[in-house]
Chains A and B, each alone.
Chain A
Amino acid sequence: MEQLIALLKRTMPFQMVPDSMLLAIAGLAKWESHARGDVLYQIGDKAEDIYVVSSGSVQHTLGIDAHAIHPDKTVYSGGVFGWAAVLEGQRKRLAKTVCLERTELIRINGEDLINLFKASPSIGDVVMSRFATMINKEFTLPEAVATQVRHFPPGEQTLPQLQATMATGLTLTLFRVSQWVKSPDPYLMITGFAILLGFWYFAVEVWKLPRFEDMPGLTVVVKELFSKNPVYGVSLYTPEYYHDIWISVRRVGIAFFLATLLGVPLGLFLGWSKKFREYIFPLFETLRPIPVLAWVPLAILMFSGSETPVIFLTFLASFFATALNTMLGVDSIDESYIRAASCLGASRWQSFREVIVPGAMPFIFTGLQISVGVAWFSLVAGEMVSGQFGLGYLINTSYTMVRYPTIVIGMITLGAVGYSTSALVRMIGDYMMQWRVRELALGGR
Chain B
Amino acid sequence: MNLNRFKKTLFSRSTLRGIVGIVAFLVLWEAGSQSKQWLGFALPWIGQVPAPTAVLKAWIGLVGDSGYWQSWYMSLIRVLTGFLVAMLIGIPFGLLMAVSKTFRSLAFPSFELLRPIPPLAWVPASIIFWPTQELSITFVTFLGAFFTVVINVLGGAKSIDIRYFQSAQAMGASQWDIFRRVVFPATLPSIVVGAAVGMGITWEVVVAAEMISGGGSQAGGSGGGLGFFIWNSYVGGSYAQIVVGMISIGVAGYLCSATLRALGGFVTPWLKKR
Contact = CB atoms under 8 A, between A and B. Distances in A.
A291 B119 CA distance: 14
A294 B246 contact: yes
Contacts of A184: 102, 105
A191 B254 CA distance: 42
A16 B203 CA distance: 52
Contacts of B246: 290, 294-295, 298
A259 B49 CA distance: 22
Interface string B225-256: 01100110110000100110111011101100
Contact of B20 (A279, A292, A379): A279
A278 B13 CA distance: 9
A291 B252 CA distance: 11
B64 interface: no
Contacts of A287: 250
Contact of A398 (B14, B108, B124, B239): B124
B18 A303 contact: no
B154 interface: no
Interface in B7-50: 13-14, 17-22, 25, 45-46, 48-49
* Most A C-beta atoms less than 10 A away, residue of B49, B105, B124, B226: B124
B211 interface: yes
A294 B120 contact: no
A290 B118 contact: no
A1 interface: no
* Most B C-beta atoms less than 10 A away, residue of A212, A279, A287, A391: A279
Contacts of B233: 297
At the interface, is chain A mostly helix, strand, loop or mixed? helix
B127 A399 contact: yes
Interface stretch (B81-89, B128-136, B216-224, B261-269): B128-136
A419 B119 contact: no
Contacts of B109: 189, 192-193
Contacts of B120: 377, 380-381, 384, 392
Interface size class, chain A: 35 or more
A294 B102 contact: no
A214 B129 CA distance: 7
B70 to A, nearest CB: 18
A319 interface: no
Given A196-B110, A289-B253, A292-B204, A395 B124 contact: yes
Contacts of B3: none
Contacts, number: 178
A368 B186 CA distance: 28
B110 A193 contact: yes
A291 B249 contact: yes
A146 interface: no
A399 B126 CA distance: 11
Contacts of B108: 192
A380 B121 contact: yes
Contacts of A414: 116-118, 121
Interface of A: 184-185, 188-189, 191-193, 195-196, 211-212, 214-215, 275, 278-283, 286-287, 289-298, 300-303, 373, 376-381, 384-385, 391-392, 395-396, 398-399, 404, 407-408, 410-412, 414-416, 418-419, 422
28 contacts: A184-B105, A185-B105, A192-B109, A275-B17, A278-B18, A283-B25, A289-B200, A289-B250, A289-B254, A291-B249, A294-B246, A294-B249, A295-B246, A296-B231, A297-B234, A300-B234, A301-B239, A302-B49, A381-B118, A384-B120, A384-B212, A385-B211, A396-B212, A399-B128, A411-B121, A414-B116, A414-B117, A418-B118
The 5 residue pairs across chains A and B that have the minimum distance between CB atoms? A282-B18, A399-B124, A297-B234, A188-B105, A278-B17
